[in-house]
Amino acid sequence: MPGFTIDQERLQDKTKLFLRVNYTTSIISILFGLLCYFLLGITKVVPFALLGFGVLNLINLQYFKSHKKILPTFNFSSILGLISSFIVTLYSGGIHSPFIFMIPLVAFGGFINSSRYGKIYLNVIIVLIILLFTQTIPELKITENFVPESSSAVFSLVSVLFSVFVLGNTFGKSLLKTYNALYTSKKVMANEVHEKENLLKEVHHRVKNNLQTVSSLLSLQSRNTESKPMKGLLKGTQNRVIAMAMVHEMLYMRKDISHIEYKSYVQELSEYLIRSIKGIDNNINLIIDIPDIKLGIDTAIPLGLLINESLTNALKYGIEGDEEGDINIKLQKDSEKENCYILEIGDNGIGFPETINYKNTKSLGLKLIHNLTRQLRGTIERDASKRGTNYIIKFQEIKQQLSPVV
């Protein structure tokens, strides 16, 4: 499995880095101990703690070659490093010792390399620093500084260089590799997202083109048909196809490929239907009241088809001929329910009797309006307080693709 292979490679790299740094640290610790004993005149505790860490850690690393278990090896090195650092710090000035920086470095190494024991190492370091501080209190002091005054400057220099080496080679490389890995991953993911967005845009573009082809075929068939009922059926089907094509066109043309600005969509769809049914020169007053609402494709298409059916019925049957008429479309969020909306749509035409409904009518438009409302998990009711035919439709934003309308 690819993920398992990557984890193995990371573990191997981490193990190699740990072994290399620990070998070098052990050798430097031994050399530092010899320097303290023979050149700096430090003959008690401090050089032996440094030599002890270096030798024991080398033995620990050699033993790793036989058992191949990195966690015990790592924990032993960390514990040994903490003990040695604490002893050296304690007998080289305590809280004022330049070697004190090694304690947090060892503890931090334990924290970033072992999630299981990391917090333990951090708690231990707090205890050790408090213990070092107690040695500044005369009544509690039981140790002394074995670093001669004449050698303190060189001891401080070597201690700081030792700390910088551990910091740079252990954490610096680890953090740099982590940063490079994150940067590379981010760049790869950004490229993948860009490629998928372009691909999805291309899909929307092709779907729109295919729907326009279907619309053209329906238009051609309509011109070659003499029957008026058939012409009307083909024209209605063509308008439904165009209503869906507009959604894909808007998703293709805009930066946001998952949502469309619904006001512009309703405006464009409504104007197209008015021109298509009533002609360019018409007496229709279109009133749209939609705030900045963006809807996903799974909501936009069935809602667009619902608006298409309502407007088609209004333009064909509600507002007769060339008479003047108003068409109102209002869409707003439902303040009482999350992810719910209220659509108010209608005309001021002649209307139709209250006794007619989608159950007892042969009108495909009425049936589609109710089925589309059901697809949107909504409810529909006629607004009898207004002239003409007006609906109040409450629906939910759909998060996933639903089955086609039947």
Residue 170: exposure state from Cβ atoms within 10 A (0-12, 13-18, ≥19):
buried
How far from 255 is each of 77, 201, 206, 251, 301, CA to CA, in Å? Answer: 54, 9, 17, 8, 19
Q: Are residues 37 and 182 in the same domain?
A: yes
CB atoms within 10 A of CB 82: 20
pLDDT at 121 over 50: yes
DSSP 165-213: HHIIIIIIHHHHHHHHHHHHHHHHHHHHHHHHHHHHHHHHHHHHHHHHH
pLDDT band at 291 (very low <50, low <70, confident <90, very high): very high
Q: Which of 15-29, 86-100, 108-122 has the least mean pLDDT?
A: 108-122
Q: Are residues 293 and 183 in the same domain?
A: no
Asked if residue 257 belongs to a domain, the reply is no
Q: What is the mean pLDDT of residues 32-53?
A: 94
Asked if residue 219 belongs to a domain, the reply is no
Between CA 246 and CA 375, with CA 204 as vertex, the angle to 5 degrees is 65
Q: Are residues 28 and 165 in the same domain?
A: yes
Q: Are residues 298 and 162 in the same domain?
A: no
Q: What is the percent of the chain with per-residue pLDDT over 70, rounded to a whole number?
A: 86
Asked if residue 110 belongs to a domain, the reply is yes
d(CA 254, CA 200): 12
Q: What is the percent of the chain with per-residue pLDDT over 90, rounded to a whole number?
A: 32
pLDDT of residue 333: 93
Q: Are residues 290 and 183 in the same domain?
A: no
Which of the two residues, 117 and 168, has the higher pLDDT score?
Answer: 168
DSSP state of 357: -
d(CA 241, CA 273): 12
pLDDT of residue 138: 84
Q: Are residues 182 and 294 in the same domain?
A: no
Which pair of structure tokens corresponds to residue 275?
């021109």
**294-296 and 379-382 strand pairing:** unpaired
Asked if residue 171 belongs to a domain, the reply is yes
Residues 6 or more apart whose Cβ sits within 8 Å of residue 313 = 363, 365, 366, 369, 389
pLDDT at 349 over 70: yes
d(CA 103, CA 351): 86
pLDDT band at 402 (very low <50, low <70, confident <90, very high): very low
For tokens 């299981």, the residue is 116
pLDDT of residue 13: 64
Provide the domain count of the chain.
2
Asked if residue 167 belongs to a domain, the reply is yes
What does the pLDDT look like over 128-145, one tens digit per residue?
A: 889 888 888 888 888 889
Residue at a domain's end among 157, 189, 221: 189
Residue at a domain's end among 189, 214, 229: 189
pLDDT of residue 10: 59
What does the pLDDT look like over 316-348, one tens digit per residue?
A: 888 988 889 999 999 999 988 888 999 999 999
DSSP 56-84: HHHHHHHHHHHH--HHHHHHHHHHHHHHH
What does the pLDDT look like over 174-212, one tens digit per residue?
A: 555 655 666 677 777 877 777 777 777 777 778 878 888
pLDDT at 115 over 60: no
pLDDT of residue 274: 92
For tokens 């089925």, the residue is 371
Q: Are residues 299 and 185 in the same domain?
A: no
Q: Are residues 320 and 173 in the same domain?
A: no
pLDDT at 254 over 50: yes
Which of the two residues, 190 and 63, has the higher pLDDT score?
Answer: 63
Asked if residue 75 belongs to a domain, the reply is yes
Alpha helices of 91-172 — where are they, by DSSP H?
102-113, 118-134, 152-166
Q: What is the mean pLDDT of residues 22-29?
A: 89
- Which residue, among 46, 47, 48, 54, has the nearest Cα to 29 in the 3D structure? 54
Q: Are residues 172 and 293 in the same domain?
A: no
pLDDT of residue 4: 40
pTM: 0.55
Q: What is the mean pLDDT of residues 216-220?
A: 86
Number of Cα atoms under 13 Å in the Cβ half of residue 71: 5
pLDDT at 168 over 50: yes
Which of the two residues, 254 and 159, has the higher pLDDT score?
Answer: 159
DSSP state of 116: T
Q: What is the mean pLDDT of residues 258-263?
A: 86
Which of the two residues, 84 and 2, has the higher pLDDT score?
Answer: 84
Cα–chain-centroid distance for residue 333?
26
Q: Are residues 61 and 181 in the same domain?
A: yes
Residue 400 sits in a domain whose CATH number is 3.30.565.10
d(CA 46, CA 159): 12
268, 246 contact by CB (below 8 A) = yes
208, 146 contact by CB (below 8 A) = no
pLDDT band at 3 (very low <50, low <70, confident <90, very high): very low
pLDDT at 288 over 80: yes
Asked if residue 271 belongs to a domain, the reply is no
Most confident of 44-58, 215-229, 267-281: 44-58
d(CA 226, CA 141): 111
pLDDT band at 48 (very low <50, low <70, confident <90, very high): very high
Q: What is the mean pLDDT of residues 241-246?
A: 86
pLDDT of residue 208: 79
CB atoms within 10 A of CB 268: 13
Q: How many helices (H) and strands (E) does the chain have?
A: 11, 7
Which pair of structure tokens corresponds to residue 296?
């996903």
pLDDT of residue 179: 56
How far from 111 is each of 64, 183, 257, CA to CA, in Å? Answer: 21, 23, 43
Q: Which domain holds residue 328?
A: 283-406
Residue at a domain's end among 148, 173, 189: 189
Asked if residue 61 belongs to a domain, the reply is yes
pLDDT of residue 284: 92
Indicate the average pLDDT of the chain.
Answer: 83
CB atoms within 10 A of CB 19: 17
Q: What is the mean pLDDT of residues 282-305?
A: 91
pLDDT at 406 over 50: no
